[in-house]
Amino acid sequence: MSLPQEKVTVPLVRAMKAQGRRIAMVTAYDYPTGRLVDEAGADIALVGDSLAMVVLGHETTLPVTVEEMLHHTRAVRRGVKRALLVADMPFGSYQGSVPEAVANAARFLKEAGADAVKVEGGRRVVEAVRQMVEHGIPVMGHLGLTPQSVRQYGGFKVQGRDEEERQALLEDAKALEEAGVFSIVLECIPAALAAEITASVRVPTIGIGAGPDCDGQVLVIHDMLGLSGDFKPRFVKRYADLGQLAREAISRYCQEVREGTFPTAEHAYS
Ligand code: KIV
C-alpha cells in the first residue's frame, strides 16, 4: 500500500474532514518512536502527556513537567518529517492565568519545534485557547475522559453516560470549535455521543475509546505494540507484541553471554 506523501499541516487536517479522509494519529515520545510513526505514514504524531505513565512510570499523567515535555518533543521533532507534530501541555501549565498559558504554549513551538499543542477541557479553557490561536498557536482540544482530571473523577472512567454529561460535552465541543481549535480528541465516551459530537462540529474529531464514527483515531504507541505490560483496556487493539519479542531477545542474549557463545570471532576486531 502506498503511503501518503504530502506534508501534514493544520489546514490539511481541517480539510481532511470535509474530504472524508480519516486521520491516523499515534503517540511518540522520543527520536526512534517519532521516526517509526512518521515512516509508517501516520498523519499526526502526538507527544502525549501519557509519557508520564508509559515512559516515566508514573501512575497518572499529573507529575510530568513542561521541561520534560519540551525535552521529549525536541527528540520526536528530530524523527518526524511528514506528520503534524502535536505536543500535550502538561497539567498545571495552562490552568492558571491566560498569559501564562499562552507563554507556555509558545515554548512548545519556539523551543521544541512542535506544530501545535493539545489542551484538555472544554468551556473552562476556551479563553486560553482563544488567546493561543490569536497568537498563532494551533490548538487541539481534548474532551471526555481527560486524564488530567483523574482525581476529580476518582479513577479513569468512561464519561458522558448521563444526559447532563452528554449535554455538557456537546456544549464543550461547540465552545472549543468557536474558540478556534483545529481538531478535538474524544476519549472514552459512548460511541453514539462521539458520533453526535462529530456530526455537530466542523473540525475533525479524533477518537480513543469513542467508537468508529469519529473523523480519526489515536492510540498510545506502547499499547498498540504490546509494550504496556498487562494494561489492555477494551478500546486498545494490540497490533504487535514487541514486549514479548524483546523479553525473548534479551533473555537469549543473557544466556549466550553466560554460556560464552556471544561474542564470537565474527564480532571481534583484529
Ligand atoms: O497523552 C496522550 O497520549 C493522549 C492521547 C491518549 C489522546 O492524550
Q: Are residues 234 and 251 both part of a single domain?
A: no
Query: How do the pLDDT tens digits run along the chain, 270 residues long?
Result: 677 788 999 999 999 999 999 999 999 999 999 999 999 999 999 999 999 999 999 999 999 999 999 999 999 999 999 999 999 999 999 999 999 999 999 999 999 999 999 999 999 999 999 999 999 999 999 999 999 999 999 999 999 999 999 999 999 999 999 999 999 999 999 999 999 999 999 999 999 999 999 999 999 999 999 999 888 899 999 999 999 999 999 999 999 999 999 999 999 999
Give how many domains the chain has, as a whole number. Answer: 2
CB 108 within 8 A of CB 87: yes
Gap from CA of 216 to ligand 1 centroid (Å): 14
Ligand 1 binding pocket (C-beta < 6 A) is 27, 46, 48-50, 88, 185, 187, 208, 218, 220
Q: Are residues 174 and 265 both part of a single domain?
A: no
pTM: 0.97
Q: Across the strands, what pairs with 142?
A: 121, 185
Domain that holds residue 31: 10-239
**Catalytic positions:** 187
Write the burial class of residue 203 (CB in 10 Å: 0-12 exposed, 13-18 middle, 19+ buried).
buried
Gap from CA of 47 to ligand 1 centroid (Å): 8
Q: Are residues 234 and 105 both part of a single domain?
A: yes
Q: Are residues 198 and 167 both part of a single domain?
A: yes
